[in-house]
Amino acid sequence: MIDFHNVSVSFVGDKKALNNVSFKIDRGEFVYITGKSGAGKSTLLRLIYADLYPTSGIVLVGKKNVSYITKSSIPYLRRNIGVIFQDFKLLENYTVYENIKIALEIFYLDKTHMENKIIPLLHKLDIFKRRNTIVKKLSGGEKQRVAIARALINEPLIILADEPTGNLDPERAETTINLLQNIAKNGSTVLVATHDEHLINKFPARVLKLENGKLVSDTVK
């Protein structure tokens, strides 16, 4: 599903944000990406949703080489990828419900069909009561749960989560990882960038560890 061959990324000068990284992730795998701040976790995720191209090496997503994806076909790639961003990237002046609905609109569902998809997910993430609230009035933890709902609503083949539990209390963080692991069991491929060793130990899975842009270990906890 995701295949990195000797991938490097340089932004400026000689320093590499990713340095000769290779790994393969199969369909339905749940994988943590760990490493200190600046190790390259976000850069690795950005390559997968074609927000960035490798400086050298090959990134294959579902057998497609992302370096050859044209700007006009990026939306087709992203239809299959749900991204939970560190800074949420929600529409702050829209309600919780509208933020999730917009992500579904590309599928042209009727109103009832849409509600039948959105409402159970709002309950699952414990944000149903906030469905008509404008996003800018929400707490950080609530915004994070909306961002998670928006990423999951299309049932994408790949879910990329950059510190998805960073703003959540420990109990909600555990619920979220549990939810993401269950989604992987249903066939989606899930990558979670996190610093949180406690969560990794509590919900063990494959761990790719980055240090200064290098992949230093690939282990199953």
Q: What is the CA radius of gyration of the chain?
A: 17
Q: Where are the beta strands (DSSP E) in 26-154?
A: 30-34, 56-61, 64-65, 81-84
Q: Which stretch binds ligand ATP (CB under 6 A): 40-48, 138-146, 182-190, 199-207?
A: 40-48
d(CA 125, CA 221): 27
Q: Which stretch binds ligand ATP (CB under 6 A): 39-47, 66-74, 113-121, 126-134?
A: 39-47
Indicate whether 72 belongs to the interface with ligand ATP (CB under 6 A): no
Indicate whether 107 belongs to the interface with ligand ATP (CB under 6 A): no
- Report helix, strand or coil for 212: coil
Q: Which stretch binds ligand ATP (CB under 6 A): 37-45, 57-65, 102-110, 130-138?
A: 37-45
Phi, psi at residue 131, to the nearest 5°? -60, -30
Residue of 212, 163, 177, 151 whose CA lies nearest to 21:
212
The residue within the footprint of ligand ATP, chosen from 17, 90, 161, 208 (CB under 6 A), is 17
Considering the complex, state which of residue 46 and residue 145 has its C-beta at the smaller distance from ligand ATP. 46
Residue of 108, 89, 202 whose CA lies nearest to 146:
89
User: Is the Cα torsion angle 175, 178, 184, 186 positive or negative in sign?
Assistant: negative
Give, in degrees to the nearest 5, the angle at Cα 24 between 22 and 26: 170
Paired tokens of 142: 């609530």
Indicate whether 35 belongs to the interface with ligand ATP (CB under 6 A): yes
Least Å distance, CB 162 to ligand ATP, is 7
The residue within the footprint of ligand ATP, chosen from 12, 108, 112, 220 (CB under 6 A), is 12
Least Å distance, CB 18 to ligand ATP, is 8
Considering the complex, state which of residue 74 and residue 102 has its C-beta at the smaller distance from ligand ATP. 74
Least Å distance, CB 187 to ligand ATP, is 27
The residue within the footprint of ligand ATP, chosen from 2, 7, 32, 43 (CB under 6 A), is 43
Least Å distance, CB 220 to ligand ATP, is 21
**Contact criterion met (CB below 8 Å) for 140 and 167:** yes
- Using CB under 6 A as the criterion, which residues of the chain lie in contact with ligand ATP when the complex forms? 11-12, 17, 35, 37-43
